[in-house]
Every structure is written in structure tokens, then in C-alpha cells.
Chain A
Amino acid sequence: MALLNARNLVVLATFALLALAPAYAAWVETPFYLDLGRRMMILAIGALSLNLIMGFGGMISFGHAVYIGIGAYTVGICAFHEVTSGFVQWPLALAISAAVALVFGVISLRTRGVYFIMITLALAQMTFYLGISLDQYGGDDGLTVYAPSDFAGLIDVDDDLSFYYVVFVLLALCLWFSQRLIRSRFGMVLQGARQNEGRMEAIGVPVFRYKLTAFVIAGTMAGLAGALLANHTDFVNPEMAHWTRSGDLIIMVLLGGMGSIAGPIVGAAAFLLLEELLSGVTEYWQVIFGPFLILVVLYARGGILGFLSRKDGGDG
């Protein structure tokens, strides 16, 4: 496989654009680009995490945004109770997301296919309505995060540029971690089980445990995206965990390339760019985006990176 093929170039270009976005935003004096880039990267972490279970494990979760919501609410609720230390908030967000993913995984991974989709959707909606019922924390209206996560001067999350590069580094780390995980024996088992679970079990692999571990890792990573999102928006609301947000994550994965490690990053960037461009054309931008997505699914299976791989001669 050539190192500098079209798909690797697109991934590198995406990272280069994200790295240079703050300079461009400063040059054109449009802080919005900084905001857009940061949002892209946060959602890319969420999409990367979904790709671990969906793209490599065949677990199509329609409730993955729940963990983003949990991560965000953990930061929001901590701040509400004046616990602003990021050293407390962020690990707590990850731990609670992991714990909820463990419980939801134990329940949902007993099913497969459409039943798995339905059960993750049901659990997600249950969590969404739990968020609405939290009147103390704003209920349906959400909760403003008045104080950003405080890292005792080590990182200034309140500074737009510092926070931008914190998210950038975390995205790069999540990508590195995903790559290591998928290329490990654990990742091989996950991919084999996607193909045929029974076959994998018959050779001595406790597939349920592997899938549950992947589910918890993905939930934890999405919880990190939630903690970042709460600091990005200074606001949390139950909508963050709504099933339509999970649908957005699925679209990002499909758009970038399901089962391609870096695909979700390209997918998240493409999704938000298209959203920005098309919403400038019409309020009902989904009317244009929908047919575009259908074309991608029909004619560019494997998403943008899959399409580029075929152009390169099929590697990857």
C-alpha cells in the first residue's frame, strides 16, 4: 500500500486544515471558523468512537449520543455544584460514561441486528427523557455551564485557541488509540466476530466479552467528546443525547467511511461543512443533504475514503 495514496492525503489534508484553522480564523478575523473547527473535532471523536463498534464490530448503535450527553451533563452538573476542577470533571465524565455503557452493553449485546438497533434506541430515549425530567438541572431547557473546566493553570479551556489545540491533540490521541486497538489482537477478534460470531466462539473466543469491552471503550470515548462539548458550548441540554444526534454520528461514519479508522474524522468534517454550506442556501438543508447521502451510500460504499481507495486501486 502506497503511503501517500489519495485516502491518506485526504486524512492528512483534513488534519492540516484543522491545525491551520485558527491561523486562518485570525487572518480573516472570523472566530466562527475556530468554533466550527473545534465542533468538527469534538464530533469526530464521537464518530471515531461509534466507528469502533459499528465499523469494526458490526454493532449499529442508534443510541451512541447518550454517552456524549452523559459526558456533557457530568461537566454541567459538576459546574452547577461548583466543582469546576477539570481533573475531577473529566475523569468523572469518562467513568460515568463507561459505567452506563457497561450496563447498556450488558443489556443490548444480548441481541443482534435490528433488535440491537431497537434496544440501543430505546435505552437512548430513556436517558433523553431522564435528562428532561431533571428539573433541578434545567430539564428540557438545559443547563448553562457558567464556569469552564479548570485545570489549575495547566490548560486554559476558557481561552479559545488553547482549548482548540487541546481538542486537536485529544482527537489525534483518539485516532492513534483507535488505530492501535483495531490492529491489536483485540481488534482482529472484533472484526472476525463481525463476520461470524459463532465461528469465533467455536475457536475459543468469548465474543460477548470482547464486544462488551469495545462497547465500553466506545462509550468512554464518546463521554470525552461530551465533556469537550460542554466546554465548547458552555451549555448542556437533553438534545445532546437525542436519537437524532446518534443518527448524525452514524451519518458521519458512513460519509467518511465505515470501518476505515480515520474515516469518521473526514466524515465529521464533511458533514459539518455541508451543513454550513447548505444551511446558507436554505433553511431546509436536509432536503439537499438527504439525496446526497443516498448517492454516497449507493455509489461510494465505504464513504469518501472507500471511494478514494477504489480510485487508488482498492487498497485499504
Chain B
Amino acid sequence: MLSVRDMETSYGASQVLFGMTLDVAAGEVVTLMGRNGMGKTTTVRSIMGLTPTQGGTVVFDGARIDGLPSYRIARAGIGLVPEGRQIFPNLTVRENLVATAHNRLGAARPWTLDRVFDRFPALAARAGGMGSELSGGEQQMLAISRALMTNPRLLILDEATEGLAPRIRAEIWRCLAELKADGQAILVIDKNLAALARIADRHYIIEKGAVVWSGSAAALEADPGLQHRYLGV
């Protein structure tokens, strides 16, 4: 479904990604892990066209998407839950969801406002409230719901549980497990190894802008040395 090959990205003279390569297959949950500053968010930004790449290719559903404007990449079927939530605080919860909803016709079981509110009743209760009035956890639910309303074939979550209360985190992991059960392909960046291990099919570990290890959840779990060396666990 998603195939990233030899991707190179720089911020000015400073190169961050050095031949980044990863794959996500349909229905698969894949994680991207690594210490802070290793290029995880830059990888996501580069896939989404938010940061221009200097080399390599990104192919999604058989078509090259590198070099396309970010809205076309999103329209192709990639939904992003960005780091820091980034909801629209000057719009209501309902408006946040409706304003950017699309791709409904192509989806077998499309995400609608009702379906989102069924999944996140807390949002239903705040539907008319402004985005700025939501708690951190509610904002994160809104950011995930907003991405789901674009009916993505691939959902990318960048540090979706960072800074949230354990109860909210558990709710988000539960949601991701449900999405996986529905066959949703997910690329997730997070630091919570235990939770990731429960839902992920495969892991990528990156160090200094390149993949240094990839393998199954079981393989990573069985190698404490690897976890210690690259993840500081």
C-alpha cells in the first residue's frame, strides 16, 4: 500500500533523513520507533508532502506521490493525525469534523458524523463547543476523528498519546485496536512499546534518519538488548 524507498530530506543545509525505507501493507499496523530527534516526524512530514524530499520515492497504492501537494496526498487516501493534535480551535467540534470530511463515496463503510460520535461519545456531548474549549484528551480524539472523516486507506498517527492521561491513552489504544480489527492500515509513531506491541504487526526502528532494524513485534519483544540500544528501554 505504502512504499517509501531511499527517502532523503533536509532542513536547509541540515540533512535529517538518509535513505529512509519502509513499507505498510493493506490492513497492517506498522510502527516507527526511535529516540527523539531521529527523524520520525520528518518521515511523516515527508510522506505527507509537508516537507519536501530531496531524494527517493514514495508510492501509495501503486502511484508515486512524492512531489505532490499535501492536499492531493491526503485526498489519495492518507489520513494524518499530526503531532500536537493541531485541531482548529476557532471551529466547533462538529465544524472541525465536517469541514474536512471527504472520500466518503469510495469507502465500504464510510466514517460519518454519527459513526464518529458513536465511537467517541465524549465528542458527541461537546459537538457544539469550540475546539479551544476541549481538554487535551478530547482534542486528540477530535484529531483522530477528523482524520477518520477523510476515510483514509492509511492512517498515520504521530505521537497520538503523548502528554495524555492514562485513561485517555487506553481509550486511544482501544480505538486503534478496533480500527485494526476493521482492516484499517495504520502507521503509528509512539514511545509506548507495551501498547504498540499489542497492536502492531511490524516495527521499524530508526536511528539518525535511517532504518536500523525492522521486524515483527515478537522479534522486538524477544530482544531486550535491541530495545535498550535503540529505544532506551
Contact = CB atoms under 8 A, between A and B. Distances in A.
For chain A, the bracket of interface size reads 10 to 19
Interface string B85-109: 0101111000110111011000000
Contacts of B89: 195
Given A191-B90, A198-B70, A203 B146 contact: yes
A195 B90 contact: yes
Contacts, number: 66
Nearest to B92: A188
B196 interface: no
Contact of B88 (A195, A198, A204, A206): A195
Interface stretch (B13-21, B74-82, B159-167): B74-82
A199 B71 contact: no
Contacts of B70: 198, 201-202
Task: Give the top 10 A-B pairs by smallest Cβ distance, nearest first.
Answer: A204-B74, A188-B99, A203-B100, A192-B88, A201-B70, A201-B71, A204-B75, A188-B95, A206-B71, A202-B70
B88 A199 contact: yes
B225 to A, nearest CB: 37
Please report whether the interface of chain A is mostly helix, strand, loop or mixed according to DSSP.
helix
Given A204-B150, A206-B71, A207-B71, A199 B82 contact: yes
A106 interface: no
Interface residues of B, number: 26
Contacts of A199: 82, 86, 88
A24 to B, nearest CB: 40
Nearest to A207: B71
Contacts of B147: 203
Contacts of B91: 188, 191-192
A188 B95 CA distance: 6
A201 B69 contact: yes
A203 B95 contact: no
B88 A185 contact: no
A189 B102 CA distance: 13
A192 B74 CA distance: 17
Interface in B111-165: 146-147, 150
A173 interface: no
A204 B86 contact: no
A199 B99 CA distance: 12
Contact of B99 (A189, A196, A198, A202): A189
14 contacts: A185-B99, A191-B91, A192-B88, A195-B88, A199-B82, A199-B86, A201-B70, A202-B50, A203-B71, A203-B147, A204-B74, A204-B150, A205-B100, A206-B71
A218 to B, nearest CB: 19
Contacts of B69: 201, 206
A189 B99 CA distance: 6
A193 to B, nearest CB: 9
Contacts of A201: 50, 69-71, 74
Contact of B100 (A194, A198, A200): A200
Nearest to B94: A188
A194 B99 CA distance: 13
Contact of A204 (B82, B98, B100): B100
Given A188-B99, A189-B99, A202 B88 contact: no
A188 B131 CA distance: 13
Nearest to A204: B74
Interface string B35-58: 000000000000010100000000
Given A201-B74, A205-B100, 15 more contacts: A192-B91, A192-B95, A192-B99, A192-B100, A195-B90, A198-B70, A201-B70, A202-B50, A202-B74, A203-B71, A203-B100, A204-B71, A204-B102, A206-B71, A207-B71
Nearest to B152: A204
Contacts of B96: 192
A222 B169 CA distance: 50
Contacts of A206: 69, 71-72
Nearest to A200: B100
Nearest to B96: A192
A202 B102 contact: no
Interface string A187-231: 011011011101111111111000000000000000000000000
Contacts of B100: 189, 192, 200, 203-205
Interface string A138-149: 000000000000
Contacts of B98: 185, 188
Nearest to A56: B90
A202 B146 CA distance: 11
Contacts of B88: 191-192, 195-196, 199-200
Contacts of A188: 91, 95, 98-99
Contact of B48 (A189, A202, A207): A202
